Structure 1
Amino acid sequence: MRLILVSNRLPFTITQSNEKTELRHSIGGLATGLNAFTQHLKKSENMEIMWVGWPGADIQDDTVYQELINYACHPVLIPEKLMERFYTGFCNQTLWPLFHYMPSYASYYDDDWQAYETVNQLFSNALCEVIKPGDVVWVHDYHLLLLPNLIRHQFPHLPIGFFLHISFPSFEIFQFLPKRCRDDILYGMLGADLIGFHTHEYSQHFLKATLRSLGYEQHLGLVSAQNRFIKIDTYPMGIDFNYIQDRLKNEEVITEKAKLLADIKNSKIILSVDRLDYTKGIFNRLTAYQLFLENNPQWLGKVVLIAIVAPSREEIDQYRLMKKEINELIGYINGKFGNTHWTPILYQYKVFSLDQLIALYSISDVALITPLRDGMNLIAKEYLATKIDKKGVLILSETAGAAKELVNAIIINPNCVLEIANALKQALEMNEYEQTKRLTMMQYLLKRYDLIHWGTKFINDLFTVREEKIRHSEKSLNKEMIDKIISKYNVAEKRLILLDYDGTLTPLMKQPQLAAPSVEILQILSALSKDKKNKIVIISGRDKNTLEKWLGHLNIILVAEHSAWLKENSHWQLTYHFNCGWKKDILSILEIYKDRLPGSFIEEKDFSIVWHYRNANEIDGEQVARELIDYLITLTATEDIKVMTGKKIIEIKNARMGKNFAVNQLMATISANFILAIGDDISDEDMFISLPHNAFSIKVGMEMTRAKFNVRLQNDVISLLQSINRKSVI
């Protein structure tokens, strides 16, 4: 098997010097971060690895091209001007600030968006050249959000994973993008089988965006879209913990440590390492250090801040201005507090190698990591890994993804300089016992959930999702299985047949009152109920008066409002005493949305309320419904109320009302050795999950389901019941 990794940049970069073209290993970035995982796959899993990405420049030399191929790298060639529009434009002046909650830094130009589309298509074309049967494709990061769906169109059955290495914003921020862009981005990502994020928060933001923008609901992280199922899950990226600890024994690292310690004598060391970026909170960090020195004069001359800033995106105006401001502030702090014997801030504006960083991590007493927003932040994890003696303190922003794991760090708000200044004092004065206790717990997590664990779990989950899809494709009810159902039916002594009503026995109608049973349905139910071995149950969300009017004359069991009412032996009985104190407030909200959306209407039942929008304008209806669902779920989060969605309806009911309650009650009193259950929407999933293993369960429609089988159409249910009835007579 071969894993194709797709990222904006290859692990090799083309450089030109003295009219000579060379191929060099990329420093930092995604390719370097994934190195340990890819090496593990090659050695332990015997898996072939291929990289697809941009090589950093045009390839003029056939020798260089061949060298890339020899390294299992397939270059995507992108013209310079197009790359400028794509990378500097849409990626870094539109997506980057928005996804990091800084819309004031964002700009949008149609030409940039078109460049983004074009480059994603170029990547798709490149992949079409190399994909072979049996391959698995894993697409990475925000540069290639459209790519999964482009590949999916070409390879419908190809296993595709996607991982976003930055944060995914809340919908309120995401909708700053033009609607066409954000919809295409969501569709693009949903082309994958598995979509991964660093934190649960980012996963939930994505699921909310798919609901609000596209109308796709989720169930336990599974989204049904475009006749496919996509899993959305959380995978906090780790580091190569063992490698970092091993490098501490390397001669180069030991030498570097000695040099650093010789230069910095008798001072506590605070380390700040970042790429030049407005999301990193560098200015706030420096201001907080200044405040710390002002508030704590006893530390003057006894502490030094090593500030490492790696050059980045200096062609963008905000970055040039930021560099100027950082330089000026560092100069001011050093001038105000420093003297000929002590410089408060040692500033380096350059790229450091990993060995140099490991040396710096290991000698630093405090790591000051305070991004305003960061998808994960692996620097925090690398710092902790170097602390073999269990001495050192991490100060970490609460808005970094890593804060969700590293809860034993000193967690701060990166916007509050006083909070950061106080954290510096706490860190520098923390006793060794407390440092050891915190570091031990964090290192345990980092070692257990390292880079290899992260990548292996993602790939394993991708295979699991694909296997589930294959199993689902095999669930379509065929003639052989129908014959088996009829055969089991014929030999059974006691049968329980559970049938939903709307969408199962009758088609879904624009007006609920128009869904009265046909003569054919009544004849089928009557014939089945006359067999003394049968117990026929209509289990519906309908109110009891409607079910009584339409079906009350038949010798069958009726269950109304999902489980609130049950009629057996001619008498309706309440199954539970439900609290309906919530209905008045919910009704007032639904009235507002009914007035907002022409064609929608409210159906009030004894213990539930339904908002219908089947008759509304389709586009407006979906948009208003998404907003209402989101509002109701938030509003009722702490109440014993459940918000359910169905086919063009939103239903609010008591949480204890569900078809599973009625099914369990019926199965306790009816000892059936043949059970058949059929339903069409999410409320029927409660019924399916309650059934014993030997029951036959069928979902109308080809969505993901807990039922054992699917049929495509409501008419297929009628055909099946007719076949059962005919076979039983024969």
Structure 2
Amino acid sequence: MAGTEEPPRAFNPNDTHGFQNVADPLVDAKVDHWEDFEENRFVDTEGGANMVVNEGVFGTLNNLDEDRVQTVARGLARQHSLSRERELEAEGRSAPASPVSIGSDQEGLIIVLYRLPVIATCDPDGKWSFAWDDDALYLTSTGLRRGLEELKIKPLWIGIINTDTPIPPADRDHISRVLLDDFNAVPVYLPQETRTKFYQGFCKDTLWPAFHMLTNVSTDGHTKRFDQESWHAYQRVNRTFSNIIVEHYEKHLIWVHDYHLMLLPYYLRIKLSGVKIGLYLHIPWPSSEIFRMMPVRNEILKGLLSATMLGFHLFDYARHFLSACVRLLNLEHEARRGSLGIEYEGRHVMIRVSHIGVDPERFNDRIGVSRLRQKAAELEAKYPGKTLIGAIDDLDIIKGIALKLIAFEDYLSTSSERVRSNVALIQVAIPKAARVNVSVRQEIRELVDKINSTYGTADHKPVLYIEQNITFDERMALYSVCDALLLTPIRDGLNLIPYEYIVSTPQGKGQLILSEFTGCSRALSSAVRVNPWNVDELRDAIDNVIQKKETRAAEIRLKHEADRKYVTLNSSSNWAESFLGDLREASESVKEVVRLGLSRGRGFRKIEFEDFTMLNARTVVKAFRESERRLFLFDYDGTLTQIESESSRMAHTWARPTEDVMRNLELLSKQKNSTVVILSGRGTATDGFHLAHMKSLGIAAEHGFYYKRPGGTEFENLAPGADLSWIEVAYRIMQLYTERTDGSYIEEKSAGLVWHYLAADPEFGTWQAKEMHDHLESILNTFNVEVVNGQGWLQVRLANVNKGNMVAQVLRDLEESPDFVLCCGDDRTDEDMFAVLAENAATKDSHLFTATVGVKPSNARFYLRSSIDVAHLIESIIEIALPGSATHVRSSTLEDMRPVALRRLVAEESEGIASSSSSGALDNVETPPPSSGALDNVETPPPSSQAESIDS
């Protein structure tokens, strides 16, 4: 609704009108180039290559809140965990003594919040003073601080200073020293422009409504556009926080709070190997259908999944998060010892569900304070002997204040004059400058005025509306006089008001009417849960509570006592102790890790695997030169061909190696004492169309059911007497599931069937695949078959027909055992090959190189990032065997660099100077592609780590 915004009302129980101004400044924004962001410009190489990025090419920095970045290429690096002291020593600086202490036998603790739980005030003379923020409406930080004190934990707090007064740069050093000495806190200073874009722009205008499932696709009749500038500010702030944390990190536990810092785990994980990071979200998580509307949805998910443990207040929120991970990242979750977990990029991310509590002792200590009792007496004097219903909410549409007032008006309209004159609603609305909507405020005030003018008298106003921040004592005073608490949010995350009310209310009171969307409504047994959108239900609940006061006092006392016991047992200190205990026990190995190179756009990846390294082209080429009997084994789809993650039902038919790859394979297979075999899940028709004309190649189709030996022209059935009568039964079962699963289809083979569901709804497809797996196994248990699951497919095949047995057959056909074996594959069916080669006596004394395409758990000893790397490896070997004969495979991402690196490698090998100790892969020199919007563009995803090839 258009109109001039009115200021909030002052807290005065004797006056319902009185206003004060609220400042809401906005600062003009700037657009910063993606290249200006530190991690977007950081490149690594091995082998001593250096590349200085020209500032003139990428643009200049625009007064960012970070130091200018010295960018030097270092390529594919292994990260080592260094203490901060050693890092600073290497930089020629001394390390500060750590002020954090939680006991000699435990790690230190760093707690990170957007705002420090410290209030800063500046007097007219410019003198600053600081105090703990004990009056915050939601006592997350305060309750947490007191809870940690009970546990004898003294954490280091990191966040911005809680003040509306700009802090002059000249005062920052002094303020930082005071905060560190007196509060064990480290402030983060942000430029006002960045802070405004970050908090008001992205946090409140984008994340807050989306996470509370409020979607608004248009503003004033125009389509609402995603604000890239505020997203960049969100990235910068999270990166700035990570830089401050790294400066103070000494093997601490790191506990991050709330949605302001969801990218922080990602930035910390880049810089600190083995760090244990807990992140607790204090707002709801939206349904995946809402969350997927965000353009930066994957970046947020990957930022969160970089944490060691994630905390949610309710299982509903965790369920929505897990659903988003399934639908957007194709990740599966599992239950483990009472907790949920997700396997993500080689790490196990724990999911924890537990609601934060309050500090009961703090409330008990304040009950008898004279100032509190005085305020309570003022309220009682205004409404002597009446039934009082209290409510404290943020002035926000999600709190459902208007719905509450509508229901209360309906209750008054259906009640007698005697009842109307003996009940009152005291509604406190806390204005939040960043998100107070003028129309919401005006609607509430109009409803209050309507109710009071219609049902009020000269001596009695049914609604007392207070629009102002109130202190802790004022809250307790209100709790102590109210017979019931009425909260009606339409979507809520953290809401501790009911807990506060329970521990503040004397015996005989303490009734609760809570929206079913309130986070803690399920935990409190005495609460009457209502749907705030149902006016009749809410009206009846109000009536029921008022009637209970007069007729069922004993029941009220018993329920109140039960809830009080629950809140006391589940205090903030117990919650913190439990969360930190789980975080401390979580596994985050401190190890050498593999960090991938660059990505395009938002497809960054960050993967850590122990004892799992990239296959070194120099080492392979050197072993090839030294060997006499060579065996090459290649999977087909995803290894020699490229399969996109959004594969359609015909991708397995049209995907084929490039002409360059096929020519190089044929050259390799014609080398003396070299055997090349392609092993595929495809049938003879599709494989034969692309490769059968190459007589020198060996081709195993359908995982070895058919085999064309090297030098032959016809496929031989290696299981001629196999019983295939089960195929018709299996097909009928698959057809039933296909009809009921949109996006799925059946691939028929001579000796098996594959059900593909990659294009189906991820959750439903996985559900159907698990059900079908059990169904097929129960029906086909008398046949010699096995049911195999992959990522997006399910296959039924003969039990003894697999790539592992096919490799064993190839080894038996050789006249002599090979002294060089290179085996590459990308999906689950290739793991049989890797396992057989690792155990087979014929390969025990050979140079054995098994490599999976894409970084993922595997039986292989090495990895290659993509099918392009496989093609370049083959090309490298051909250049050594037949100099000048190889067809150069061009890369769309590194085409300018690879020929240089290849020529250098060939020249060195030709001169005999290659060394097995050389570090770096063939293509370890990288250059950053132009891209924007990525969370951090230093990582590149191997295609097969996103989705397996359909080589089933």
Distance in structure 2 (CA, Å) of the matches to 1:579 and 1:235:
45
Please name the residue that 2:91 is paired with: none
- Partner AA of 1:174 in structure 2: F
3-state secondary structure, aligned to 1:402: coil
Instruction: Give the AA of the match of 2:271.
Output: Q
Aligned length: 586
Q: Distance in 2 between matches of 1:30 and 1:509?
A: 63
**1:289 counterpart residue number:** 408
Which digits, 9 at most, give the CA deviation of each residue in 1:328-364, with x for residues without a partner? 2111111111111111111211111122211211221
Distance 1:420 1:652, change over 3 A: farther
Counterparts of 2:683 and 2:505 in 1: how far apart (Å)?
A: 67
Distance in 1 of aligned mates of 2:825 and 2:521: 42
Moved over 6 A (4+): 467-470, 472-477, 570-574, 578-582, 634-645, 700-703, 724-727
Please tell me the residue identity of whatever aligns with 1:122: T
Q: Please tell me whether residue 268 in structure 1 is matched to residue 422 in structure 2.
A: no
Who is 2:190 aligned against?
A: 78
Q: 1:333, 1:603 → 2: CA distance?
A: 71
The whole-number CA distance in structure 1 between the counterparts of 2:837 and 2:401 is 69
Matches within 5 A, 1:256-655: 256-297=375-416, 298-313=418-433, 316=435, 319-430=437-548, 431-466=552-587, 509-511=680-682, 514-517=701-704, 584-590=735-741, 592-594=742-744, 601-602=746-747, 610-612=754-756, 621=758, 624-625=759-760, 627-630=761-764, 633=767, 646-651=789-794
Contact 2:357 2:572 in 1 (8 A): yes
Compute the displacement of 1:637 (Å): 9.0
Provide the rounded CA distance (Å) in 1 between the counterparts of 2:750 and 2:322.
31
CA RMSD of aligned residues (A): 4.3
**Contact kept? 1:54, 1:78, Cα under 8 Å:** no
Deviation at 1:39, TM superposition (A): 3.5
Give 2:330's aligned residue: 215
Q: After TM superposition, list the pairs within 5 Å mapping 1:172-183 onto structure 2.
A: 172-178=289-295, 181-183=296-298
**Cα deviation per residue 1:100-132 (whole Å; 9 max; x = unaligned)?**
111128853111111111211111222222222
Aligned equivalent of 2:286, options 160, 166, 169: 169
Question: What's the secondary structure of 1:395's corresponding residue?
Answer: strand
Shift of 1:46: 4.4
Aligned equivalent of 1:11: 117
Cα distance in structure 2, aligned partners of 1:162 and 1:292:
43
Q: Could you report, residue by residue, the CA deviation over 1:515-537 in whole angstroms, capped at 9, with x for unpaired residues?
A: 535999xxxxxxxxxxxxxxxxx
CA deviations 1:484-505 (Å, max 9, x no partner) are xxxxxxxxxxxxxxxxxx99xx
Is 209-218 or 403-412 further displaced after alignment? 403-412
Amino acid at match of 1:74: V
Aligned residues of 2:111 and 2:158 also touching (Cα < 8 A): yes
Q: Letter of the aligned partner of 2:426 in structure 1?
A: I
* Residue of structure 1 equivalent to 2:308: 193
Is the alpha carbon distance of 1:646 and 1:585 closer, same or farther for their aligned partners in structure 2, counting shifts above 3 Å? closer
Report Cα offsets for 1:297-318 as digits up to 9, x if no partner. 24111011111111212x55x6
Relative to its length, the structure with more helix (as a share) is: 1
SS in 2 for 1:139: strand
Which is greater in Rg?
Answer: 2
Query: Of residues 38, 41, 44 in structure 1, which corresponds to 2:145?
Result: 38
Q: Following TM superposition, by how much is the alpha carbon of 1:254 offset from its aligned partner in structure 2, in angstroms?
A: 3.0
Number of the residue aligned with 1:59? 167
Identity %: 27
- The equivalent residue for 1:616 is none
Instruction: Give the drift of 1:243.
Output: 2.6
- Residue 206 of structure 1 corresponds to which residue in structure 2? 321
Task: Give the aligned partner of residue 350 of structure 2.
Answer: 231
Q: Distance in 1 between matches of 2:166 and 2:138?
A: 19
How has the CA–CA distance of structure 1 residues 721 and 453 changed in structure 2, closer, same or farther, with 3 Å as cutoff? same
The one-letter code sitting in structure 2 at the alignment partner of 1:73 is A
Equivalent of 2:362 in 239, 243, 254: 243
Cα separation, 2, equivalents of 1:508 and 1:103 = 50
Contact 1:642–1:652 under 8 Å retained in 2: no
C-alpha distance in structure 1 between counterparts of 2:750 and 2:505, whole Å: 63
For residue 437 of structure 2, give the secondary structure of its aligned residue in structure 1. helix
Amino acid of the structure 2 residue aligned with 1:304: A
Q: Is the 8 A contact 1:55 1:76 kept in 2?
A: no
The residue number in structure 2 matching 1:617 is none
2 CA distance for matches of 1:602 and 1:652?
9
Q: Which amino acid aligns with 1:86?
A: F
Show the counterpart of 2:180: 69
Alignment partners' CA distance in 2, 1:284 and 1:308: 15
**1:407-449 Cα deviation digits (max 9, x unpaired):** 4311000112221111100111111133123323322322222
Distance 2:734 2:706 in 1: 36
State how far apart, in whole Å, the 1-side matches of 2:590 and 2:679 are: 27
Structure 1 partner of 2:96? none
Q: What TM-score comes out, normalization by structure 1 length? A: 0.71
**Inter-partner Cα distance in structure 2 for 1:406 and 1:652:** 49
* 1:629 CA drift (Å): 3.4
Alpha-carbon deviations, 1:646-677, whole Å to 9, x = none? 43333499xxxxx9xxxxxxxxxxxxxxxxxx
AA partner of residue 423 (structure 2): V
Residue 201 of structure 2 corresponds to which residue in structure 1? 89
CA distance in 2, matches of 1:45, 1:572: 69
1:277 Cα deviation from its structure 2 partner: 0.7
CA distance in 2, matches of 1:363, 1:391: 9
Deviation for aligned residue 1:64: 2.5
Contact 1:11 1:32 in 2 (8 A): no
Give the SS at the match of 2:840: helix
Q: Which moved more, 1:384-393 or 1:339-348?
A: 384-393
Q: Distance in 1 between matches of 2:574 and 2:124?
A: 43
TM-score normalised to structure 2 length: 0.55
Q: Which residue of 1 aligns with 2:276?
A: 159
Q: CA deviation at 1:390?
A: 4.8
Gaps of 5+ in 2: 1-106, 219-223, 594-607, 613-636, 639-676, 685-700, 708-716, 778-786, 806-823, 846-952
Q: Once the 2 structures are TM-superposed, how far is the Cα of residue 464 of structure 1 from its aligned partner? A: 2.1
Shift, 1:588, TM fit: 1.1
Distance 2:208 2:774 in 1: 40
